[in-house]
Protein backbone atom coordinates (compact mmCIF):
# COMPACT_ATOMS: atom_id res chain seq x y z
CA UNK A 1 0.00 0.00 0.00
CA UNK A 2 1.42 3.36 -1.07
CA UNK A 3 0.34 6.27 1.11
CA UNK A 4 0.79 9.85 -0.02
CA UNK A 5 2.20 11.49 3.10
CA UNK A 6 0.55 14.81 2.29
CA UNK A 7 -2.95 13.28 2.43
CA UNK A 8 -4.94 13.56 5.67
CA UNK A 9 -5.06 10.20 7.51
CA UNK A 10 -1.89 8.86 5.83
CA UNK A 11 0.25 9.24 8.96
CA UNK A 12 -2.46 7.80 11.20
CA UNK A 13 -2.93 4.81 8.89
CA UNK A 14 0.81 4.17 8.83
CA UNK A 15 0.97 4.40 12.64
CA UNK A 16 -1.87 1.86 12.86
CA UNK A 17 0.12 -0.55 10.65
CA UNK A 18 3.07 -0.20 13.05
CA UNK A 19 0.85 -0.79 16.09
CA UNK A 20 -0.47 -3.98 14.45
CA UNK A 21 3.10 -5.29 14.06
CA UNK A 22 3.40 -4.40 10.36
CA UNK A 23 6.20 -2.85 8.31
CA UNK A 24 6.06 0.79 7.17
CA UNK A 25 8.64 2.34 4.86
CA UNK A 26 8.99 6.06 5.53
CA UNK A 27 11.14 8.94 4.33
CA UNK A 28 13.91 10.43 6.45
CA UNK A 29 16.30 13.21 5.48
CA UNK A 30 18.95 10.56 4.65
CA UNK A 31 17.27 7.58 2.97
CA UNK A 32 13.94 5.74 3.28
CA UNK A 33 13.74 3.49 6.34
CA UNK A 34 11.91 0.17 6.72
CA UNK A 35 10.19 0.65 10.06
CA UNK A 36 8.69 -1.64 12.68
CA UNK A 37 7.64 -1.22 16.31
CA UNK A 38 11.03 -1.43 18.08
CA UNK A 39 9.46 -2.91 21.21
CA UNK A 40 7.80 -5.78 19.30
CA UNK A 41 10.30 -8.61 18.56
CA UNK A 42 7.97 -10.31 16.03
CA UNK A 43 7.56 -7.09 14.06
CA UNK A 44 11.33 -6.52 14.16
CA UNK A 45 11.91 -10.09 12.89
CA UNK A 46 9.86 -9.22 9.80
CA UNK A 47 12.36 -6.45 8.91
CA UNK A 48 15.17 -9.01 8.65
CA UNK A 49 13.01 -11.32 6.50
CA UNK A 50 11.90 -8.53 4.15
CA UNK A 51 15.47 -7.30 3.62
CA UNK A 52 17.19 -10.67 3.57
CA UNK A 53 19.46 -9.21 6.25
CA UNK A 54 21.50 -11.36 8.67
CA UNK A 55 19.92 -11.26 12.15
CA UNK A 56 23.16 -10.28 13.87
CA UNK A 57 23.15 -6.89 12.11
CA UNK A 58 21.69 -4.42 14.61
CA UNK A 59 19.07 -1.81 13.72
CA UNK A 60 18.81 1.90 14.49
CA UNK A 61 15.89 2.89 16.74
CA UNK A 62 14.31 6.15 15.59
CA UNK A 63 12.86 8.49 18.22
CA UNK A 64 10.66 11.60 18.13
CA UNK A 65 13.04 13.78 20.18
CA UNK A 66 16.13 13.78 22.37
CA UNK A 67 13.95 13.59 25.49
CA UNK A 68 12.88 10.09 24.36
CA UNK A 69 16.48 8.79 24.74
CA UNK A 70 16.29 7.63 28.33
CA UNK A 71 13.90 4.68 28.01
CA UNK A 72 16.21 3.17 25.36
CA UNK A 73 19.70 3.81 26.76
CA UNK A 74 20.83 2.41 30.09
CA UNK A 75 23.14 5.39 30.52
CA UNK A 76 23.55 8.63 28.57
CA UNK A 77 27.03 10.14 29.04
CA UNK A 78 26.99 13.99 29.18
CA UNK A 79 28.86 14.22 25.87
CA UNK A 80 26.22 12.06 24.16
CA UNK A 81 23.49 14.24 25.65
CA UNK A 82 25.20 17.34 24.28
CA UNK A 83 25.51 15.84 20.78
CA UNK A 84 21.88 14.73 20.84
CA UNK A 85 20.65 18.12 21.97
CA UNK A 86 22.75 20.00 19.37
CA UNK A 87 22.43 17.75 16.33
CA UNK A 88 18.98 16.13 16.65
CA UNK A 89 16.83 16.09 14.68
CA UNK A 90 19.55 15.30 12.15
CA UNK A 91 21.59 12.62 10.38
CA UNK A 92 23.55 11.51 13.46
CA UNK A 93 23.19 8.10 15.13
CA UNK A 94 24.55 7.59 18.65
CA UNK A 95 25.51 4.14 19.92
CA UNK A 96 24.84 3.91 23.67
CA UNK A 97 24.58 1.18 26.33
CA UNK A 98 21.31 -0.69 25.73
CA UNK A 99 18.45 -0.39 28.21
CA UNK A 100 17.26 -3.86 29.18
CA UNK A 101 13.79 -3.20 27.75
CA UNK A 102 15.25 -3.02 24.20
CA UNK A 103 14.53 -6.39 22.55
CA UNK A 104 17.75 -8.28 21.66
CA UNK A 105 16.30 -8.70 18.13
CA UNK A 106 16.84 -4.96 17.60
CA UNK A 107 20.48 -4.91 18.72
CA UNK A 108 21.57 -8.21 17.19
CA UNK A 109 22.11 -9.48 20.73
CA UNK A 110 24.55 -6.66 21.59
CA UNK A 111 24.62 -4.72 24.83
CA UNK A 112 24.56 -1.42 22.92
CA UNK A 113 21.77 0.30 20.98
CA UNK A 114 21.89 2.78 18.08
CA UNK A 115 19.51 5.76 18.37
CA UNK A 116 18.63 8.73 16.21
CA UNK A 117 16.00 11.46 15.69
CA UNK A 118 15.47 11.96 11.93
CA UNK A 119 15.10 15.47 10.52
CA UNK A 120 12.10 14.91 8.27
CA UNK A 121 8.56 16.20 8.87
CA UNK A 122 6.94 12.92 7.73
CA UNK A 123 9.23 10.75 9.88
CA UNK A 124 8.65 13.00 12.90
CA UNK A 125 4.89 13.04 12.37
CA UNK A 126 4.88 9.23 12.16
CA UNK A 127 7.01 8.92 15.31
CA UNK A 128 4.68 11.25 17.21
CA UNK A 129 1.52 9.52 15.98
CA UNK A 130 2.96 6.10 16.79
CA UNK A 131 4.23 7.21 20.17
CA UNK A 132 7.16 4.77 20.49
CA UNK A 133 10.53 3.89 18.99
CA UNK A 134 10.67 2.75 15.37
CA UNK A 135 13.43 0.29 14.44
CA UNK A 136 14.43 0.96 10.83
CA UNK A 137 17.27 0.01 8.54
CA UNK A 138 17.47 1.45 5.04
CA UNK A 139 14.49 0.10 3.03
CA UNK A 140 16.49 -1.85 0.43
CA UNK A 141 17.35 -5.52 -0.10
CA UNK A 142 20.44 -6.44 1.94
CA UNK A 143 23.64 -5.23 0.25
CA UNK A 144 21.81 -3.31 -2.48
CA UNK A 145 21.74 0.44 -3.18
CA UNK A 146 19.82 2.40 -0.50
CA UNK A 147 16.47 3.98 -1.48
CA UNK A 148 15.97 7.74 -1.70
CA UNK A 149 12.42 7.64 -3.16
CA UNK A 150 9.26 5.63 -2.49
CA UNK A 151 9.62 4.12 -5.98
CA UNK A 152 13.06 2.74 -5.02
CA UNK A 153 11.51 1.08 -1.95
CA UNK A 154 8.74 -0.53 -3.99
CA UNK A 155 11.21 -1.73 -6.64
CA UNK A 156 13.32 -3.45 -3.97
CA UNK A 157 10.76 -4.69 -1.45
CA UNK A 158 7.35 -4.64 -3.19
CA UNK A 159 4.78 -6.62 -1.22
CA UNK A 160 7.18 -7.40 1.62
CA UNK A 161 6.29 -3.99 3.08
CA UNK A 162 2.75 -3.28 4.35
CA UNK A 163 2.78 0.46 3.65
CA UNK A 164 5.11 2.95 1.99
CA UNK A 165 4.69 6.56 3.10
CA UNK A 166 5.65 8.62 0.07
CA UNK A 167 7.17 11.92 1.16
CA UNK A 168 9.16 12.66 -1.99
CA UNK A 169 12.92 12.31 -2.52
CA UNK A 170 15.32 12.43 0.45
CA UNK A 171 17.37 15.62 0.72
CA UNK A 172 20.64 14.43 2.26
CA UNK A 173 20.84 11.21 0.27
CA UNK A 174 23.42 9.24 2.30
CA UNK A 175 22.81 7.54 5.65
CA UNK A 176 23.44 9.02 9.08
CA UNK A 177 26.88 9.39 10.64
CA UNK A 178 27.25 6.75 13.39
CA UNK A 179 29.28 7.58 16.50
CA UNK A 180 29.90 5.07 19.29
CA UNK A 181 29.59 6.87 22.65
CA UNK A 182 30.12 3.83 24.89
CA UNK A 183 33.90 4.18 25.30
CA UNK A 184 36.14 6.81 26.91
CA UNK A 185 36.23 8.80 23.63
CA UNK A 186 33.68 9.04 20.78
CA UNK A 187 34.43 6.67 17.88
CA UNK A 188 33.25 7.00 14.30
CA UNK A 189 31.57 3.81 13.04
CA UNK A 190 30.22 5.18 9.75
CA UNK A 191 30.66 8.41 7.85
CA UNK A 192 27.39 10.04 6.85
CA UNK A 193 25.13 13.06 6.74
CA UNK A 194 26.77 15.02 9.60
CA UNK A 195 30.45 15.83 8.93
CA UNK A 196 32.62 14.26 11.62
CA UNK A 197 34.28 17.69 11.96
CA UNK A 198 30.92 19.09 13.13
CA UNK A 199 30.63 16.32 15.74
CA UNK A 200 34.15 17.15 16.97
CA UNK A 201 33.40 20.88 17.17
CA UNK A 202 30.34 20.24 19.36
CA UNK A 203 31.92 17.47 21.43
CA UNK A 204 35.03 19.60 21.98
CA UNK A 205 37.26 16.55 21.52
CA UNK A 206 38.54 14.41 18.66
CA UNK A 207 36.42 11.55 17.32
CA UNK A 208 38.47 8.39 16.85
CA UNK A 209 38.37 7.51 13.18
CA UNK A 210 39.17 3.85 13.18
CA UNK A 211 36.40 1.41 14.11
CA UNK A 212 37.54 -2.04 15.17
CA UNK A 213 36.62 -4.78 12.69
CA UNK A 214 33.09 -6.06 13.24
CA UNK A 215 32.19 -3.10 15.43
CA UNK A 216 29.44 -1.86 13.13
CA UNK A 217 28.27 -5.11 11.61
CA UNK A 218 26.58 -4.28 8.37
CA UNK A 219 29.23 -1.76 7.41
CA UNK A 220 30.76 -4.57 5.37
CA UNK A 221 33.44 -3.84 2.84
CA UNK A 222 30.95 -4.52 0.06
CA UNK A 223 27.57 -2.86 0.42
CA UNK A 224 25.34 -0.33 -1.31
CA UNK A 225 26.04 -2.17 -4.58
CA UNK A 226 24.35 -1.72 -7.97
CA UNK A 227 23.87 -4.73 -10.29
CA UNK A 228 26.52 -3.52 -12.71
CA UNK A 229 30.22 -3.62 -11.94
CA UNK A 230 31.22 -0.25 -10.47
CA UNK A 231 34.53 1.55 -10.93
CA UNK A 232 35.09 4.53 -8.64
CA UNK A 233 38.03 6.75 -9.60
CA UNK A 234 39.46 10.22 -8.97
CA UNK A 235 37.73 12.89 -11.12
CA UNK A 236 40.92 13.36 -13.16
CA UNK A 237 40.91 9.65 -14.08
CA UNK A 238 37.28 9.52 -15.14
CA UNK A 239 37.82 9.90 -18.91
CA UNK A 240 40.65 7.34 -18.90
CA UNK A 241 38.62 4.81 -16.90
CA UNK A 242 35.66 5.23 -19.29
CA UNK A 243 37.93 4.66 -22.30
CA UNK A 244 39.42 1.54 -20.72
CA UNK A 245 36.02 0.11 -19.72
CA UNK A 246 34.61 0.90 -23.18
CA UNK A 247 37.39 -1.11 -24.83
CA UNK A 248 36.20 -4.20 -22.96
CA UNK A 249 32.42 -3.75 -22.49
CA UNK A 250 29.59 -2.70 -24.74
CA UNK A 251 27.36 -0.94 -22.23
CA UNK A 252 29.36 1.48 -20.11
CA UNK A 253 27.53 4.12 -18.05
CA UNK A 254 29.11 7.09 -16.32
CA UNK A 255 28.01 9.17 -13.37
CA UNK A 256 29.08 12.39 -15.05
CA UNK A 257 29.58 15.68 -13.16
CA UNK A 258 28.46 18.69 -15.23
CA UNK A 259 31.52 20.56 -13.84
CA UNK A 260 33.75 18.44 -16.12
CA UNK A 261 32.10 19.68 -19.33
CA UNK A 262 30.76 17.36 -22.03
CA UNK A 263 31.04 13.58 -21.40
CA UNK A 264 33.02 11.39 -23.84
CA UNK A 265 31.06 10.01 -26.80
CA UNK A 266 29.91 6.39 -26.98
CA UNK A 267 28.58 5.92 -23.43
CA UNK A 268 25.48 3.74 -23.09
CA UNK A 269 24.19 6.11 -20.41
CA UNK A 270 25.28 9.47 -19.05
CA UNK A 271 23.80 9.94 -15.58
CA UNK A 272 23.82 13.44 -14.12
CA UNK A 273 26.10 13.70 -11.08
CA UNK A 274 28.13 16.39 -9.33
CA UNK A 275 31.43 16.93 -7.52
CA UNK A 276 29.71 19.30 -5.10
CA UNK A 277 29.52 17.20 -1.89
CA UNK A 278 25.88 17.93 -0.97
CA UNK A 279 24.64 17.49 -4.52
CA UNK A 280 26.70 14.29 -4.98
CA UNK A 281 25.23 12.82 -1.78
CA UNK A 282 21.69 13.73 -2.80
CA UNK A 283 22.14 12.15 -6.26
CA UNK A 284 24.32 9.15 -5.44
CA UNK A 285 21.85 6.28 -4.93
CA UNK A 286 19.33 7.46 -7.53
CA UNK A 287 22.19 7.79 -10.04
CA UNK A 288 23.44 4.24 -9.38
CA UNK A 289 19.89 2.89 -9.74
CA UNK A 290 19.39 4.86 -12.95
CA UNK A 291 22.60 3.44 -14.46
CA UNK A 292 21.39 -0.08 -13.57
CA UNK A 293 17.95 0.61 -15.07
CA UNK A 294 19.60 1.66 -18.32
CA UNK A 295 21.26 -1.73 -18.62
CA UNK A 296 24.84 -0.77 -17.83
CA UNK A 297 27.39 -3.58 -17.55
CA UNK A 298 29.92 -1.23 -16.02
CA UNK A 299 29.36 2.06 -14.18
CA UNK A 300 32.24 4.51 -13.88
CA UNK A 301 31.87 7.15 -11.14
CA UNK A 302 34.07 9.95 -9.78
CA UNK A 303 35.05 10.16 -6.09
CA UNK A 304 34.20 13.74 -5.03
CA UNK A 305 37.12 15.44 -3.22
CA UNK A 306 36.82 17.10 0.21
CA UNK A 307 35.64 16.52 3.79
CA UNK A 308 32.23 16.00 5.32
CA UNK A 309 29.57 14.74 2.93
CA UNK A 310 32.20 14.15 0.23
CA UNK A 311 33.90 11.65 2.57
CA UNK A 312 30.57 9.86 3.09
CA UNK A 313 29.98 9.68 -0.68
CA UNK A 314 33.49 8.29 -1.24
CA UNK A 315 32.90 5.71 1.51
CA UNK A 316 29.70 4.46 -0.17
CA UNK A 317 31.24 4.43 -3.66
CA UNK A 318 34.30 2.50 -2.50
CA UNK A 319 32.13 -0.07 -0.70
CA UNK A 320 29.76 -0.40 -3.65
CA UNK A 321 32.76 -0.95 -5.95
CA UNK A 322 34.31 -3.55 -3.64
CA UNK A 323 31.50 -6.05 -4.07
CA UNK A 324 32.52 -7.53 -7.39
CA UNK A 325 36.19 -7.65 -6.47
CA UNK A 326 35.27 -9.84 -3.49
CA UNK A 327 33.14 -12.23 -5.50
O1 LIG B 1 20.37 7.30 7.90
C2 LIG B 1 20.25 6.20 8.45
O3 LIG B 1 20.95 5.86 9.40
C4 LIG B 1 19.18 5.25 7.87
C5 LIG B 1 17.81 5.87 8.11
C6 LIG B 1 16.69 4.97 7.71
O7 LIG B 1 17.70 6.27 9.44
N8 LIG B 1 19.28 3.96 8.45
C9 LIG B 1 20.30 3.09 8.17
O10 LIG B 1 20.16 1.85 8.74
O11 LIG B 1 21.23 3.38 7.45
P12 LIG B 1 21.02 0.58 8.31
O13 LIG B 1 20.45 -0.55 9.09
O14 LIG B 1 21.05 0.45 6.85
O15 LIG B 1 22.44 0.88 8.89
C16 LIG B 1 22.57 0.94 10.30
C17 LIG B 1 23.99 0.72 10.70
C18 LIG B 1 24.45 -0.71 10.44
O19 LIG B 1 25.70 -0.66 9.82
C20 LIG B 1 24.56 -1.28 11.83
O21 LIG B 1 25.57 -2.22 11.94
C22 LIG B 1 24.86 -0.06 12.67
O23 LIG B 1 24.07 0.92 12.11
N24 LIG B 1 24.43 -0.29 14.05
C25 LIG B 1 23.18 -0.41 14.52
N26 LIG B 1 23.18 -0.68 15.84
C27 LIG B 1 24.46 -0.74 16.23
C28 LIG B 1 25.12 -1.00 17.45
N29 LIG B 1 24.43 -1.26 18.57
N30 LIG B 1 26.46 -0.98 17.46
C31 LIG B 1 27.15 -0.72 16.35
N32 LIG B 1 26.59 -0.48 15.14
C33 LIG B 1 25.26 -0.49 15.08
MG1 LIG C 1 21.59 0.06 4.89
Query: For the segment 113-124, what is each residue's pLDDT rounded down to a tens digit?
Result: 999 999 999 999
Q: What is the mean pLDDT of residues 256-284?
A: 97
* CA–CA dist 14, 34 (Å, integer): 12
Q: Which of 33-47, 49-63, 161-175, 208-222 has the lowest mean pLDDT?
A: 208-222
Neighbours of ion ligand 2 (CB under 5 A): 138
* CA–CA dist 141, 144 (Å, integer): 6
pLDDT at 327: 47
pLDDT at 152: 97
Helix (H) or strand (E) holding 14: helix 10-19
pLDDT at 224: 85
Are the beta carbons of 206 and 189 closer than 8 angstroms? Answer: no
Instruction: Give me ligand 2 centre to Cα 220, in Å.
Output: 10
- Which distant-in-sequence residues (6+ apart) come within 8 Å of 35 by Cβ? 18, 23, 24, 25, 26, 62, 126, 134, 135, 136
pLDDT at 218 over 80: no
* Angle (nearest 5°) at CA 108 between 214 and 155: 90
Instruction: Give me ligand 1 centre to Cα 76, in Å.
Output: 19
Q: What is the mean pLDDT of residues 189-193?
A: 96
- The pLDDT-based confidence of 215 (bands split at 50, 70, 90) is low
pLDDT at 217: 52
| Three-state DSSP state, 185 | coil
Q: Is the dihedral of CA 217, 219, 220, 221 positive or negative?
A: negative
pLDDT at 213: 56
pLDDT at 241: 97
Query: Considering the entire predicted model, what is its pTM?
Result: 0.95
- Residue nearest to ligand 1 atom 15, measured at CA: 137
Q: 218 vs 196, which has greater pLDDT? A: 196
* CA–CA dist 226, 146 (Å, integer): 10
Of the chain, the end-to-end C-alpha distance in Å amounts to: 36
Using alpha carbons, list the distances in angstroms from residue 294 to 130, 267, 269: 39, 11, 7
pLDDT at 322: 87
Helix (H) or strand (E) holding 112: strand 112-116
pLDDT at 210: 74
Q: 59 vs 211, which has greater pLDDT? A: 59
* CA–CA dist 71, 101 (Å, integer): 8
pLDDT at 140 over 70: yes
Q: What is the mean pLDDT of residues 53-79?
A: 96
pLDDT at 221: 63
| Residues within a 6 A CB radius of ligand 1 | 28, 30-31, 33, 57-60, 91, 93, 95, 107, 110, 112-114, 118, 136-138, 175-176, 178, 189, 216-219
Q: How does strand 163-166 pair with strand 134-135?
A: unpaired
Instruction: Give me ligand 1 centre to Cα 215, in Å.
Output: 11
- The pLDDT-based confidence of 326 (bands split at 50, 70, 90) is very low
Q: What is the mean pLDDT of residues 27-40?
A: 98
* CA–CA dist 69, 37 (Å, integer): 16
* CA–CA dist 149, 130 (Å, integer): 22
Q: What is the mean pLDDT of residues 257-282?
A: 96
Q: Which ligand is nearest to the CA of 320?
A: 2
Mutate to test the pocket of ligand 1, among 178, 180, 186, 282 (most ligand atoms within 8 A of CB): 178
Q: Which ligand is nearest to the CA of 114?
A: 1
What is the position in ligand 1's atom list of the atom closest to the CA of 116?
Answer: 7
Are the beta carbons of 321 and 230 closer than 8 angstroms? Answer: yes
Q: 8 vs 34, which has greater pLDDT? A: 34
* CA–CA dist 275, 238 (Å, integer): 12
Instruction: Give me ligand 1 centre to Cα 94, in Å.
Output: 10
Amino acid sequence: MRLDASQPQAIERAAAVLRAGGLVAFPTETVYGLGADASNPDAVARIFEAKGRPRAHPLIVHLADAAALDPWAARVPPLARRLAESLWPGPLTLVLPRHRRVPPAVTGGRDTVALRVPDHPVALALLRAFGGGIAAPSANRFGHVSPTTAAHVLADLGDAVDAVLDGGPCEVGVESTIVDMTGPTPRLLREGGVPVETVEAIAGCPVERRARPGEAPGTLRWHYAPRARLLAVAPGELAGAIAEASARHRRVAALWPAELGAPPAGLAAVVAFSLDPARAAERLYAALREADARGAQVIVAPLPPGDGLAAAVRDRLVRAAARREDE
